[in-house]
């Protein structure tokens, strides 16, 4: 039996390093049981009580475990639906809906667990919409787990649910848990190796326990070196790490695990710096960002890719080091919108460009200059049909010049 | 054919009509008359007659066949040297018409080419030297690599003097029956920064509203050519509201399609109007210069401008 199953916590006392989440989930279920039942429809859930709770966070932080522990704690039956099940509209209707309509036969209460909701794929057509409709009608609390809830397809679900983020588990806590397990298993592994496992797990307890089990079965455990799991960090997480934490050598690697081209990351940083920093820190952070951009330009110009190193360091460590002290509190980061705005505007100025192009050729100047001088050219061209003819402007272009 | 656009209508078509560049004209004219010109490099500010002179040369050389023997390219428009090379090759492949043994390629704003592209251009100039002459124009000859400079005869164009510009405006005003006072002409000259093309454009755009050119009308027209509301952007920044400053900035740049360089020019001038210590003004100017340099070198203008705005926020804090 895998140790990850064997040693999965059975009660809240055994769950380590997630106190905030425990409080939240207890609170969520308690509110539920205290709300008067009976009657029908949505009216029962007056107030702002939400009927679903999304536990989200990186793998191996205890999301599913917490759901099972709270079920144990409240004497509830768990009805689980996870990524291995097909979760399209029809299937949810066929399987999940009845479960939300029947009382538990064996236990006092019931909790619905929709595990790994971000795994709902294209095949699961209409799944999210159906899930939301079930949330609206169910009398039972629904717990949903996910790694990344910022995906667009989950935005409507986010509004329907309370959110609780589970943080990566501190390596010391991970190590303590490993020691507890070893004791129970009556095995011994060198302290240094335990520390290594705990650090390399990067907050993923499940990974750490798996590594521990593998190592404990080996004859010479000290000779084993693990490959680090390549964990994908979402952009929100890396923004948070850079903006909130003190820079460390780990900061340099943050973007390695973000699945996004660096040009796009630059836009995310650009958008969000002012939400986090002000005054001197703002100036320093933008200074680092502007230098990032300079190196980016040098790469393009000279096709010398080693400059990427500098681009990366300035963008991560450089911006992280712009603050004096670590920051606390929640910041809601925003998606960059500049490129969209530029695109929309370009659509609007296509005619302006084509007019400037025709003018530029005609009077022997560069197109850029014609664009820069456009306000004055517009005045000259718009009131003179002869010029419009000379430049061979189309009707649409002439129309563009007229005041609306 | 009579042009409606005055910069074309009144563009000098013979050497004697060109104002302000007497020395250059003399030398270029004698070269042209010998029917054999070297590669030429015209360096100087905008609106001082570089393109005009190139056009006169080809018209004098080829007379009525000038269009067949002349190719005009603008380096700041053509994306990359490969396009330039393609066009040059296609053009140079066929022999020139008439009794001049070469064709002429005018490469405007040659300093917009990267040093690498210029190296490639240098080879092209050599390969086609038997069939083509190049006339290059640039604002700063220092941005043209030495090997190209050494292959060309260099002519430095001066900024036009006030009297030259006055002459041009007088002449056009008479022909177009406009009424204009010397005082108004002076305002046009000041607004044009010695750029003759710009003067004529200001004159024509004002005339399109009324044939009586008044100082007020001209001033309004000139104000319209400059990025507006940059002061508002800086006011937001100085008062510490970075978010609104950058929103407004993007708005201005997009709505009026103003380039980063235009914005930075306006910022640089506006520094003298903001309430900070002289020492800080100097620092901000330096920052502005650095940002302009980076934008010219190809950085993302909006990122550089935001970094600059952040320095203004800081300057605003220092004030208190």
* Domain spans in chain B, listed from the N-terminal domain onward: 21-156, 162-221, 227-316
B40 neighbors B152 (Cβ within 8 angstroms): yes
Angle (CA) B215-B221-B223 rounded to 5° is: 100
The minimum CA-CA distance between A384 and chain B, rounded to whole Å, is 8
Residue B27 Cα distances to A303, B21, B49, B66, B189, angstroms:
43, 10, 15, 21, 28
Name the closest residue on chain B to residue A366, using Cα atoms: B74
- DSSP per residue over B231-264, as a string? HHHHHHHHTT-HHHHHHHHHHHHHHTT--HHHHH
Q: Is the pLDDT of residue A142 over 60?
A: yes
Residue with tokens 């850079």: A242
CATH class of B162-221: mainly alpha
State the pLDDT confidence band at A41, using cuts at 50, 70 and 90: very low
Q: Strand, helix or coil at B181? A: coil
CATH class of B227-316: mainly alpha
Q: Is the pLDDT of residue A222 over 60?
A: no
A243 neighbors A278 (Cβ within 8 angstroms): no
B271 neighbors B288 (Cβ within 8 angstroms): yes
A154 neighbors A117 (Cβ within 8 angstroms): yes
Count CB neighbours of A105 within 10 A: 7
pLDDT greater at residue B172 or residue A191: B172
pLDDT at B34: 86
A362 neighbors A355 (Cβ within 8 angstroms): no
pLDDT at A314: 96
Mean pLDDT of chain B: 89
Q: Is the pLDDT of residue A50 over 70?
A: yes
pLDDT at B222: 85
pLDDT at A404: 54
Residue from the list A294, A341, A362 with its beta carbon closest to the beta carbon of B250: A341
Q: What percentage of chain B has pLDDT greater than the value 70?
A: 98
- Tens of pLDDT, residue by residue over A239-270, are 999 999 999 988 998 888 888 889 999 999 99
**Residues 6 or more apart whose Cβ sits within 8 Å of residue A133:** none
- Tens of pLDDT, residue by residue over B31-85, are 998 888 899 999 999 999 999 999 999 999 998 889 889 999 888 777 566 777 7
pLDDT at A42: 42
Q: Do A345 and B254 lie within an 8 Å CB cutoff?
A: yes
Name the closest residue on chain B to residue A365, using Cα atoms: B74
CA dihedral for A253, A255, A256, A261, sign (positive or negative): negative
CATH domain B21-156 topology: Rossmann fold (3.40.50)
- Tens of pLDDT, residue by residue over B154-212, are 999 999 999 999 999 999 999 999 999 999 999 999 888 889 999 999 999 999 999 99
Q: Is the pLDDT of residue A151 over 90?
A: no
The minimum CA-CA distance between A366 and chain B, rounded to whole Å, is 6
State the pLDDT confidence band at A167, using cuts at 50, 70 and 90: confident
The minimum CA-CA distance between B27 and chain A, rounded to whole Å, is 23
Query: A297: which chain B residues are within 8 Å (Cβ-Cβ)?
Result: 294, 297-300
State the pLDDT confidence band at A127, using cuts at 50, 70 and 90: confident
Query: B221: which chain A residues are within 8 Å (Cβ-Cβ)?
Result: 376, 379
Residue A187 Cα distances to A171, A181, A212, A224, angstroms:
20, 9, 10, 17
Q: Do A384 and B257 lie within an 8 Å CB cutoff?
A: no
Q: How far is it, in rounded angstroms, from Cα B230 to Cα A212?
A: 62
Query: A380: which chain B residues are within 8 Å (Cβ-Cβ)?
Result: 5, 201, 204-205, 208
CB pairs under 8 A between A and B: 139
Q: Is B257 on the interface with A (CB under 8 A)?
A: yes
Residue from the list B5, B259, B313 with its beta carbon closest to the beta carbon of A380: B5
What pairs with residue B108 in β-bridges? B74
Let me know if A149 is exposed, middle or buried by CB neighbors in 10 A (0-12, 13-18, 19+).
Answer: buried
Q: Is the pLDDT of residue B280 over 50?
A: yes
* Burial profile B280-318: b = 16 or more Cβ within 10 angstroms, e = fewer: beebbeebbebbbebbeeebbbbbbbbbbbbbbbbbbee
Q: Is the pLDDT of residue B143 over 80?
A: yes
Query: B262: which chain A residues are within 8 Å (Cβ-Cβ)?
Result: 372
* Burial profile A65-90: b = 16 or more Cβ within 10 angstroms, e = fewer: bbbbbbbeebebbbbbbeeeeebbbe
**Residues 6 or more apart whose Cβ sits within 8 Å of residue A374:** A352, A356, B257
Determine how β-strand A142-146 pairs with β-strand A161-165. unpaired
- Tens of pLDDT, residue by residue over A314-350, are 999 999 999 999 988 888 888 888 888 887 777 778 8
pLDDT greater at residue B238 or residue A129: B238
Residue with tokens 């000098």: B12
Residue A244 has, within 13 A of its CA and on its CB side, a CA count of 12
Mean pLDDT of B239-261: 89
Q: Is B174 on the interface with A (CB under 8 A)?
A: no
- Tens of pLDDT, residue by residue over A168-185, are 888 889 999 999 999 988
pLDDT at B116: 77
Q: How far is it, in rounded angstroms, from Cα B316 to Cα A282?
A: 13
Q: Strand, helix or coil at A69? A: helix
Name the closest residue on chain B to residue A300, using Cα atoms: B298
Q: How far is it, in rounded angstroms, from Cα A110 to Cα A70?
A: 11
Mean pLDDT of chain A: 84
Q: Do B313 and A278 lie within an 8 Å CB cutoff?
A: yes
Query: B299: which chain A residues are within 8 Å (Cβ-Cβ)?
Result: 290, 293-294, 296-297
Q: Which pTM was predicted?
A: 0.56
Q: Is the pLDDT of residue A43 over 80?
A: no
- 80-99 in B: which are within 8 Å (CB) of A? none
Residue with tokens 């809601």: A332
The minimum CA-CA distance between A162 and chain B, rounded to whole Å, is 30
Q: What was the ipTM of the complex prediction? A: 0.79
A109 neighbors A75 (Cβ within 8 angstroms): yes
Residue with tokens 């609780």: A164
State the pLDDT confidence band at B312, using cuts at 50, 70 and 90: very high
Q: How far is it, in rounded angstroms, from Cα B200 to Cα B206?
A: 10
Q: Do B254 and A342 lie within an 8 Å CB cutoff?
A: yes
Q: Is the pLDDT of residue A223 over 50?
A: no
């Amino acid at each position: 039996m895998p140790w990850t199953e064997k040693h999965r916590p059975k009660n809240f006392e055994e769950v380590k390093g997630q106190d905030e989440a425990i409080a939240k989930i207890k609170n969520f279920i308690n509110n539920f049981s205290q709300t008067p039942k009976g009657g029908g429809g949505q009216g029962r859930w007056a107030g702002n009580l939400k009927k679903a709770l999304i536990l989200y966070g990186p793998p191996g932080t205890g999301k599913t475990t917490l759901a099972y522990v709270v079920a144990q704690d409240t004497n509830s039956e768990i009805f689980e639906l996870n990524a291995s099940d097909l979760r399209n509209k029809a299937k949810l209707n066929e399987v999940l809906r009845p479960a939300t309509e029947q009382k538990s036969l064996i236990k006092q209460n019931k909790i619905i667990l929709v595990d790994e909701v971000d795994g709902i794929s294209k095949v699961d057509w209409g799944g999210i919409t159906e899930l939301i409709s079930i949330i609206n009608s169910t009398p039972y609390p629904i717990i949903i787990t996910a790694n990344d809830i910022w995906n667009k397809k989950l935005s409507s679900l986010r509004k329907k649910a309370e959110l609780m983020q589970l943080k990566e588990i501190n390596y010391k806590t991970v190590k303590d848990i490993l020691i507890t397990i070893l004791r129970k298993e009556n095995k011994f592994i060198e302290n240094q190796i335990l520390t290594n496992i705990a650090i390399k797990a990067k907050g993923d307890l499940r990974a750490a326990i798996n590594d521990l089990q593998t190592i404990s079965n080996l004859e010479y455990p000290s000779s084993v070196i693990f490959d680090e799991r390549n964990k994908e960090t979402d952009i929100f997480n890396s923004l948070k790490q850079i903006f909130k934490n003190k820079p460390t050598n780990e900061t340099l690697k943050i973007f390695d695990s973000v699945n996004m081209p660096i040009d796009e990351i630059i836009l995310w940083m650009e958008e969000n710096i002012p939400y986090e920093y002000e005054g001197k820190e703002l100036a320093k952070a933008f200074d680092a960002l502007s230098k990032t951009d300079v190196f980016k330009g040098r790469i393009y110009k000279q096709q010398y890719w080693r400059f990427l190193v500098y681009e990366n360091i300035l963008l991560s460590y450089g911006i992280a080091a712009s603050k004096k002290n670590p920051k606390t509190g929640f910041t809601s980061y925003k998606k960059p919108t500049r490129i969209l705005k530029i695109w929309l505007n370009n659509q609007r100025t296509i005619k302006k460009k084509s007019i400037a192009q025709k003018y530029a050729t005609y009077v022997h100047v560069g197109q850029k200059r014609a664009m820069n001088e456009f306000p004055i050219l517009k005045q000259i061209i718009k009131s003179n049909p002869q010029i419009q003819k000379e430049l061979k402007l189309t009707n649409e272009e002439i129309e563009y010049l007229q005041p609306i | 054919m009579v042009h409606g656009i005055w910069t074309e209508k009144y563009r000098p078509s013979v050497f004697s009509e060109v104002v302000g560049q007497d020395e250059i004209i003399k030398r270029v004219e004698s070269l042209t008359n010998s029917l054999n010109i070297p590669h030429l490099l015209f360096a100087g500010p905008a609106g001082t007659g570089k393109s005009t002179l190139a056009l006169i040369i080809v018209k004098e050389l080829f007379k009525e066949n000038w269009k067949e023997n002349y190719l005009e390219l603008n380096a700041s428009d053509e994306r990359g040297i490969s396009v330039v090379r393609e066009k040059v090759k296609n053009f140079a492949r066929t022999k020139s018409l008439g009794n001049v043994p070469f064709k002429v390629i005018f490469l405007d704003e040659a300093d917009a080419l990267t040093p690498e592209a210029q190296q490639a251009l240098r080879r092209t100039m050599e390969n086609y030297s038997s069939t083509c002459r190049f006339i290059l124009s640039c604002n700063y000859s220092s941005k043209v690599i030495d090997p190209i400079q050494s292959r060309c005869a260099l002519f430095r164009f001066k900024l036009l003097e006030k009297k030259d510009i006055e002459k041009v405006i007088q002449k056009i005003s008479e022909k177009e029956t406009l009424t204009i006072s010397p005082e108004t002409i002076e305002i046009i000259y000041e607004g044009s920064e010695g750029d003759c093309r710009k003067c004529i454009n200001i004159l024509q755009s004002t005339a399109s509203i009324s044939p009586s050119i008044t100082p007020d009308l001209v001033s309004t027209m000139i104000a319209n050519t400059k990025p507006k509301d940059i002061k508002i952007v800086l006011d937001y920044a100085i008062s510490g509201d970075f978010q609104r400053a950058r929103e407004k900035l993007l708005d201005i740049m997009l709505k009026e399609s103003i380039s980063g360089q235009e914005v930075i020019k306006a910022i640089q001038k506006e520094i003298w109007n903001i309430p900070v210590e002289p020492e800080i003004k100097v620092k901000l100017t330096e920052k502005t210069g650095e940002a302009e340099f980076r934008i010219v070198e190809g950085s993302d203008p909006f990122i550089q401008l935001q970094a600059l705005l952040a320095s203004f926020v800081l300057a605003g804090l220092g004030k208190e």
